[in-house]
């Protein structure tokens, strides 16, 4: 007996984003159609100003499209109110930012634990999840340190752990190697590849073509439109 095809985790149809400033219309996104399947690793690449970060902000429910349809895990995003969007961001989406966004006066452990407090999880569950996430990224031995005591690469690993702690449906990474040297950038990309092999769904924005090729599928944007899709390189040639 044949089974019905699985619905994509993310479905975008005709997504547009227009910014109005001083009576000038800027079309950041112009009719984006995109599906991302559960367990897929997708990179979004293109020149500066092409709409990459705007698209990621919409995917992460940090911004809303001017027009079009966004379905996340079977839910029409447009129908969600402010509190529902916040709840889904906390439970379904893990964010990895270029600038790490760690809180300086919290320890590594506390940074990873913090988003879990908004879930109402008890202390034992928060400790278990935070510890497991730090072990996954190889940073459990630094959990009592503060961000200022870590290198940039280590801080980004902690940021990845913070995203993983909530066990999200998808990881959204915005230029995750942008503030790192090449060695640390390679190490973070190796970490993302390993997480993907373990089942994580990842959507990454990057301007670095070397790292874009690590994904299963590359989406190329130009002037707010998808101009090309291509497959990533097989793992053996990376």
Range of the domain at 133: 39-46+79-233
Question: Over 50: is that where the pLDDT of 238 sits?
Answer: no
User: How would residue 5 be classed by pLDDT, with cut points 50, 70 and 90?
Assistant: low
CA nearest 202: which of 71, 117, 93? 93
Judge whether 124 lies within some domain.
yes
Q: What tens digit of pLDDT does each residue of 9-25 get?
A: 999 999 999 998 888 88
> Distance (Å, rounded) from C-alpha 61 to C-alpha 58?
5
> What is the DSSP-derived secondary structure letter of residue 7?
P
Domain count, the chain: 1
Judge whether 148 lies within some domain.
yes
> Distance (Å, rounded) from C-alpha 153 to C-alpha 177?
9
| Mean pLDDT comparison of 48-52, 56-60, 232-236, highest-scoring range | 56-60
Give 218's strand partners: 43, 230
Judge whether 15 lies within some domain.
no
Mean pLDDT in the chain? 91
Judge whether 132 lies within some domain.
yes
**Mean pLDDT throughout 131-145?**
95
For residue 234, give the 3-state DSSP assignment: coil
Question: Over 60: is that where the pLDDT of 41 sits?
Answer: yes
Question: Over 70: is that where the pLDDT of 114 sits?
Answer: yes
Q: What tens digit of pLDDT does each residue of 51-96 get?
A: 999 999 999 999 999 999 999 999 999 999 999 999 999 899 999 9
> Distance (Å, rounded) from C-alpha 160 to C-alpha 171?
9
Q: What tens digit of pLDDT does each residue of 149-198 get?
A: 999 999 999 999 999 998 999 999 999 999 999 999 999 999 999 999 99
User: How would residue 213 be classed by pLDDT, with cut points 50, 70 and 90?
Assistant: confident
Judge whether 30 lies within some domain.
no
Question: Over 90: is that where the pLDDT of 209 sits?
Answer: no
Judge whether 29 lies within some domain.
no
**Mean pLDDT throughout 231-237?**
61
> What is the DSSP-derived secondary structure letter of residue 22?
T
Judge whether 194 lies within some domain.
yes
Q: What is the pTM of this model?
A: 0.89
CATH number for the domain that contains residue 138? 3.40.50.300
Judge whether 17 lies within some domain.
no
Query: What is the pLDDT, as a whole number, of residue 88?
Result: 92
Query: What is the pLDDT, as a whole number, of residue 4?
Result: 52
Query: What is the pLDDT, as a whole number, of residue 31?
Result: 93
What percent of the chain has a predicted confidence (pLDDT) above 90? 79
Q: At what angle do helices 152-165 and 182-197 cross, to 10 degrees?
A: 20
């Amino acid at each position: 007996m044949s089974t019905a095809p699985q619905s994509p985790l993310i479905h975008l149809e005709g997504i547009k984003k227009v910014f109005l400033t001083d009576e000038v219309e800027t079309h950041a996104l112009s009719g984006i159609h995109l599906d991302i399947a559960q367990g897929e690793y997708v990179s979004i690449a293109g020149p500066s100003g092409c709409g990459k970060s705007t698209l990621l902000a919409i995917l992460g429910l940090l911004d809303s499209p001017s027009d079009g349809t966004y379905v996340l895990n079977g839910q029409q995003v447009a129908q969600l109110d402010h509190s529902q969007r916040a709840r889904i961001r906390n439970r379904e989406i893990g964010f990895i930012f270029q600038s790490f966004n760690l809180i300086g006066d919290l320890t590594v452990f506390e940074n990873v634990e913090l988003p879990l407090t908004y879930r109402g999880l008890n202390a034992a569950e928060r400790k278990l999840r935070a510890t497991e996430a730090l072990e996954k990224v190889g940073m459990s031995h630094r959990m009592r340190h503060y961000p200022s005591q870590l290198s940039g690469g280590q801080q980004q690993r902690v940021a990845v752990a913070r995203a993983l702690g909530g066990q999200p449906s998808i990881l959204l990474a915005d230029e995750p190697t942008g503030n790192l040297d090449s060695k640390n950038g390679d190490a973070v990309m190796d970490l993302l590849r390993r997480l993907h092999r373990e089942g994580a769904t990842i959507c990454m924005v990057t301007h670095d073509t070397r790292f874009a090729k690590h994904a299963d599928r590359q989406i190329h944007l130009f002037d707010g439109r998808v101009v090309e899709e291509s497959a990533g390189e097989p793992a053996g040639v990376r």
